[in-house]
Amino acid sequence: MPILSLDPRVNRLQAEEVPAHQPPVLIPGDHWPSYQVFHQRRRGEKHSSVGIVHAPSLEIAMAMAKEQFARRGETSNLWVVCTADVLEMDYADEEVFRTTPSKSYRDPAGYKVNDKIEAYKARQSNL
């Protein structure tokens, strides 16, 4: 006996009640692999990672990404990349970056010359 619903769409589906010991409806891989989606809001801006879609191919991934990640607001472009093709650094290795912020010789802020100049000027005017 199909389920009787208040939703006319559901009545047209003729859904049957789930039996007590329902075996898995989906097998592994049934919902396809995933693709990472990158979104560019406007020309000139960078693409940013916004999430994933499950899809069987790059082309369908793109068709799916368009509505899941660009159905509101502004979009200029999208990329999709198969997740399995991405190499991710291990978070446990985060320490390789630990000292980077302190390498002041790579930053403009690491070079302060005004004190020197002011001192020099002061010396010159005292001559």
Partner 1 sequence: MMPTSLPTHPLARYLLHLADDQLVMGHRNSEWTGLGPILEEDIAFSSIAQDQVGHSLAFYEILHQRYGLDNPDQTAFNRPENQMLSSWLVEQPIGDYAFSLVRHWCYDQAVALRYESLSQIQDPALHALATKLRGEVKYHTFHAHTWMKSLLHGSEESRLRMLSALKEVWPLALGLFESWPGETDLMEEVGTTGQGWYPGEQKLQMQWQARALESMASWGVDVEASGLQRMEPVLGGRQGYHSEYLAPLLEEMTAVFRLDPQAEW
Partner 2 sequence: MYGGGYVPAGAEELKAPAENPELLAQFEERIARGEKIEPRDWMPAAYRKQLIRMIEQHAHSEIIGALPEGTWITRAPGFRRKLALMAKVQDEVGHAQLLYSAAETLGKSREDMLNDLINGKSKYSNVFNYPAETWADVAVIGFLIDAAAIVNQVANSKGSYGPYCRALERICYEESFHLKQGHSVFVWLATGTSMQREMLQSALNRWWEPIMHFFGPSDTMSQHTETLMRWKVKMASNDVMRQQFLNMYVPKIWELGLSLPDPALRKDESTGQWLFTEPNWDTFFQVINGNGPCNRERLAVRKVAEERGAWVRAALRRADARYATPLA
Residues that bind partner 1 (CB under 8 A): 8-9, 12-13, 31-32, 53-57, 59-60, 63-64, 66-68, 71
Residue identified by tokens 């899941």 is 68
Helices (H), the chain: 8-13, 58-69, 114-126
CB-based contact 47:38 (threshold 8 Å) = yes
Residue 28 or residue 44: which is nearer to partner 2 going by CB?
28
Residue identified by tokens 């799916």 is 64
Q: Say which DSSP state 44 is in.
A: T
Minimum CB–partner distance for residue 77 and partner 1 (Å): 14
Answer with the entry of partner 1, partner 2, none that 6 interacts with (C-beta below 5 to 8 A by kind).
partner 2
Residue 24 or residue 44: which is nearer to partner 2 going by CB?
24
